[in-house]
Every structure is written in structure tokens, then in C-alpha cells.
Structure 1
């Protein structure tokens, strides 16, 4: 085995293990009260929060670093489990430290030294970047309850206590707009019109992505993956596989594209790559519906921010810039690696041949990450043989 292949083996061992975060349930429920939220889709949602509220961050905040922290921050729950804010946490910190060493220890040499300190920085919460990331992580669950159409009485009480004396109580100084909005909504009053309210409305709408199911299953084949946790996972792919990007790729922009890229599925739904013999994904009616969905969804945001994020989504779709091409490559690679782990997954369901995989996936991956496709191709061959 070459050194490059060994390096990629370690990277994918970490990424496949990260898939388990999609099965860690939290105390929060989705806005439609259909089920408990899991920690992977929560991690996607708070990373999206950080992107949307970037202009409100305090001086000295590195937004790209904050987003990376939020992509990583809950991985330790794979071993330690979620810790609801209203319950005692005896021993939780030690369990999470042990989990961090194990999980980041799966990475190749050099990556552990880069990412483990990022998680430690978030946990310590002392830098401006970590404080902003913490504020986002502490705020999103409040509005997950307050924007619910039918919030549970015990969840409302947890929000009330959290704002009064819990970890969100100091939002009055850390993030006054968030604290004020939560207080108004907790009192049952409507939020006055503002850019902050528009951002909250967009982020509440984004919650619906957690209910869009994809053809791909989790690595353990226990259920189909949803588009929110998929978006988290491929943003994590970008962070871990950054060394596969060419020098002209803007990695923070890639991660931001991947956080946004599937939001249109809230209106259109997922279109499996291999459906309709591979033709559905590029059908003109689907592309038109997605473009219309993008106008509606990004139009919920304040004008300039909505335009900026819409442009980023369009760049991803056009697939012309090096950053978009690398992002597209990762969007194709992640389902391949999941299918390998679960015994074929959507390849079996759609009767995919190796030649079809090479034309529908391989060419796209090779276009944006040419050094990655030979490794992935060899892994796929074993299944099709």
C-alpha cells in the first residue's frame, strides 16, 4: 500500500466513524415535532447559524474557524452521548476528552495535531472565535423550541430556566439581540420586523431539510440519510480532505457551499443520482424547480445576505470554479463511501453498473479532486467484482 493510500484510509476511517453521529439523539425535537433531532443535523444547523449571523460576531472572530469548530464540536457524543442542558453532567467532561482523543486519533499524522486543538479551543471557550461558536450552540436550541408550531410544555420550561439562570442567561451580554428575541417569543409576543427576525425565519425554514430523506443509507444501513445530516457530513469531508484540493480552491467557501447546497430540497425533495437511469438529476424541470426554490428560500434573508448566499448556491450549481468543482467532487464521493460501508446501498436499489458509476460519479470526482478518484475507484471495484 502506498503512503498516499494509507493516508486516505485513515481519513476515511475517521469520516466513516463520524457517520455514527447521525444516530445520537438529542433532547430537542424538530420544529414539526415529528421526532428527536440528532447531533449530526444539529451540527449542520449551528454551522449554518454561524454563517448567517457572521456579521453579528464580535471583533476578532474568525468565521471560517468558528464553522469548523461547530462541524466538529459534537463528534465526541459518538462515545459520550448527548448531554441535555437541564441534567447534571458529572463525568461528562472526562468522557468527552477521552472520546476526542480516540476519534481524532483515527486521523493521519498531522491532522490530529490540527483538529484536536480546534475542539479543545471550542471547549475552553476563551477565544473570540470559540465564544461566538459557543453562543451559536447555546442559542439554536432555544429557537428550535420557540419556533415550534406546537412546543412541548417541558421544553418551554427548559428554555425559560436556561434564559433565566442557565448557560444562555449571559446571552444578554454575549448576544443581546438573541436574548431579547428569545425573551419576547417566550412571552408569547410576536417579534418586531428586523433583519434579525428575517435570519431566524430563514433558519427555522432550514429545519425542514432534516425531514428530506435521500436514497443513500447510513453506513450501518439502519435507515436512509436525510439531507441536513448529509450536508453536515460533506462539509466535514471538505475539512478532512482539504489536502485533496488544488491550490486555487477556497476551502472556507467550499464548506459554506456545502452547508447551503441542498436547501432547495426543502421544496423540491431529493433527486437520487441514479434514478431514471441517471437522467433525473439533470432534467430541465428539476433544475427549474430548484432555481425557483433557491429564489424563495434565500429570499427569506435580509436582501444583501440573501443575494450573497444565493450567488454561492448558483456557483455550486454551475460547477465552473475550482471551489465549486471540489465541492461537487465531495458531494459525489460521500454517497460512494456510504454505499461501500453498507453493502451496496443505492447501487443495489437502482441496479447500478460500474460503468454507470464511473460516468455519473467518477468523471465529476476526477474533475474537482483528480488525486482522490483513483483511490475511490479501487475501493468501488471490490464491490462490483
Structure 2
């Protein structure tokens, strides 16, 4: 095995292990109240929060690094679990378990990436740098608003928020992020505050709906279909870890923004399975629906910010810039690995052949990350040889 193949094998081993974060349930509910949020979709939502609330960040904060911290900060819960803030918890024991988990998980990566990501996780946990402190603020405020804007949330959850704001860890928001603190207090008092956070929160609450959009692909263990929010988190992690294999140098912050936002239109337009057979008219209707969805959803933001986000989404769709070409490749490669791990997944449902996979997926992956496609194709070819006749 070549050094490059060894490196790719290590990177995919980490990325597939990260898939298990979707099985970790948190205490707080998604906004429609239908179920508990999982830690993977939570991490995606935090990244969106960080991008949307960037105008409120201190001048010495790198939002790009904050997004990266939030993508990986909860990975340790794969081993250590999630712990509600109002529970009777031995936090020293939790910290110890999480440190052990971090060592195991990040050691799956090549040594240089292991050291970098592990260091970033430690920085977040220590909360000493401006980036880590802002990432913590984002992590603290998202569950508060997810609870306060949920009309059917149990009263006990509201009391958790109240205790968190007045005496808990979120009390620090009064000084560190006063806009959030005062908006949350107004919501607790039954008011509908109209302030600098009103429009950003309208968008952030709306995109919570992506957690209810189901895709054809299942999790790696085949236990359920993945949703588009946790998918977005996973491919952001994929893009970051596999960046060295891009067809060209790319601005990783831009790539992560594209992948963070690319599926938001599915809240209105739904997901379209890559292997579905569609007529030209159906494809045109889908494109029109997605464009209308982009205009509506990004239009919830303050005008200038909404225009920026819309341009990022449009750039991804056009797939012409180096960043968009690479992002499209990563968006295609992640489901391939999940299907392989789950024993065929949506390939069985759509009677997919290796030739069809090459035509609909392979050429797009190869365009943006040719070495990645060579590696992945070699991994999946034996499955198709054994399970298909074409």
C-alpha cells in the first residue's frame, strides 16, 4: 500500500467512526418538538449559528476556526456520551472520559492531522483563547433558543433554560454576549423581542427544519435514514479532513460555508435521491423549487447577509469555482461510503450498478478529488461484483 493509500485509509477510518455521533441523543428537542436532537446535527446547527452570528463576534475572533472547533467539539461523545447540564453529573469524571475518547478518536487520523485536530479540541475545552471562548458562547446559546422558540416544549425544559441563564454556565452571556442574554430573558418573560437578533434567529430557527428532511442514504450501521442536517455536518468534516486531495488549492472556509448551506433549500424542496430517474421537466421543476426556496429562506436574514449566503449557495450549485468543484465531489463521496458500510443501502433500493455509480457519482468525485475517487472505487468495486450482475 502506498503512503497516499495508507493516509486515505486512515482518514476514512476516522470519518466513518465519526458517523457514530449521530447515535448520541441530547436532552433538548429539535424545534418542532418531535424528537431529541442528536449531537451531529447539533454540531451542524452550531456551525450555522457561528456563521450567522459572525457580525457579533469580537474583532480578534476567527470565525473559520470557531466553525472548525464546533464541527469536532462533541466527537468525544461517541465514547463518553452527552450529559444534560441539569443532571447530577461528576464533571471531573466526564472530563477524564472525554480526554480518553479524544485520544482514541483523533489517533485514527494520520499523525499530523491527529495532532492538529486534537489540539483544536483541547483549545476549545480549555476555553482560554478568543476563538475558543466565542465557540463556547455559541455552544451555550443555541440550546437556549431552540427551547425558547419551541411552542410545545415541556415546562421543565424552560426551567432548565432559566436556571442556565441565572446561575448556570450561560450566565456568562450577560457580559460575553449581552445581545443573546437580553433577547433570551425577554423570551422567558413572554415577550417577542424586536432587536438585532430577531432576523438572524428567524433564519436560524427556520433552518432547524433541515433536521426533519430524510435522505435515501442510511447511517453506516443501516439503522435509519440520515437527515440532511447531520449529512451536512458529516460532509463538512469530510471536506476538511480530505482537503489535501482536492484537485486544486481551495479556500477551506469557503468550502465549509458551501457545504453548511447547500442543502438548506431542501426544507421547502425536499431531497432528491442521486439515483432517482427524473425527466427533464421534473429536473427543471426541482431547480425552480430550490431557487424559490433559496430566495425565501436566505431572505429571512438581514439583507446584506442574506445576499452573501445566497451567492455562496449559487456558487455551489454552479460548480465552476475550485471550491464548488471540490465541495460537490465531497457531497457525492460520503453517501458511497455509507452505502458500502450499511451493506448496499440505497444501491439496493435503486438497483444501482457500478456503471451507474461511475456515471452519476464517480465523474463528479473525480473532477474535484480524483485520488479520493480512485481509492473509493477500489473499495466499492468488490461489493458490486458480488451483488450485481451488470
Common fold, TM-score beyond 0.5?
yes
Question: Is 1:210–1:226's contact at 8 Å kept on the other side of the alignment?
Answer: yes
Residue in structure 1 matching 2:128, options 121, 126, 129? 126
Partner deviation per Cα, 1:49-105 (whole Å, 9 max, x = no partner): 001011111121111010000000000000000011112331100000000000001
Task: Specify the alignment match of 1:264 in structure 2.
Answer: 265
Residue in structure 2 matching 1:141, options 140, 143, 156? 143
Query: d(CA) in 2 for partners of 1:248 and 1:372?
Result: 15
Describe how 1:37-186 pairs up with structure 2 within 5 A.
Answer: 37-90=37-90, 91-186=93-188
Deviation of the 1:195 alpha carbon: 3.6
Deviation of the 1:3 alpha carbon: 1.4
Query: d(CA) in 1 for partners of 2:193 and 2:242?
Result: 42
Q: Structure 1-normalised TM-score?
A: 0.98
Task: Specify the alignment match of 2:388 in structure 1.
Answer: none
Match of 1:113, SS state, is helix
Query: d(CA) in 1 for partners of 2:257 and 2:327?
Result: 10
Match of 1:37, SS state, is strand
Q: Structure 2-normalised TM-score?
A: 0.96
Match of 1:326, SS state, is helix
Question: Is 2:250–2:322's contact at 8 Å kept on the other side of the alignment?
Answer: yes
Task: Specify the alignment match of 1:205 in structure 2.
Answer: 206
Describe how 1:285-324 pairs up with structure 2 within 5 A.
Answer: 285-324=285-324
Number of residues paired by the alignment? 383
Deviation of the 1:249 alpha carbon: 1.1
Deviation of the 1:380 alpha carbon: 1.4
Task: Specify the alignment match of 1:217 in structure 2.
Answer: 218
Query: d(CA) in 2 for partners of 1:75 and 1:41?
Result: 12
Match of 1:249, SS state, is coil
The yes-or-no answer on 1:196 pairing with 2:197 is: yes
Match of 2:238, SS state, is helix
Deviation of the 1:282 alpha carbon: 7.7
Deviates more, 1:87-96 or 1:342-351: 87-96
Task: Specify the alignment match of 1:332 in structure 2.
Answer: 332
Task: Specify the alignment match of 2:253 in structure 1.
Answer: 252
Match of 1:59, SS state, is coil
Deviates more, 1:371-380 or 1:180-189: 371-380
With over 3 angstroms needed to count, the CA separation of the structure-2 counterparts of 1:186 and 1:281, relative to structure 1, is: farther
Deviation of the 1:368 alpha carbon: 0.8
Deviation of the 1:150 alpha carbon: 1.3
Deviation of the 1:151 alpha carbon: 1.8
Match of 1:283, SS state, is helix
Question: Is 1:216–1:339's contact at 8 Å kept on the other side of the alignment?
Answer: yes
Instruction: List gaps (5 residues or longer) in structure 1.
Output: none
Question: Is 1:145–1:151's contact at 8 Å kept on the other side of the alignment?
Answer: yes
Question: Is 2:214–2:225's contact at 8 Å kept on the other side of the alignment?
Answer: yes
Deviation of the 1:308 alpha carbon: 0.2
With over 3 angstroms needed to count, the CA separation of the structure-2 counterparts of 1:204 and 1:281, relative to structure 1, is: farther
Query: d(CA) in 1 for partners of 2:280 and 2:347?
Result: 16
Query: d(CA) in 2 for partners of 1:195 and 1:307?
Result: 18
Q: What's the RMSD between the two structures over aligned residues?
A: 1.2
Match of 2:197, SS state, is helix
The yes-or-no answer on 1:4 pairing with 2:8 is: no
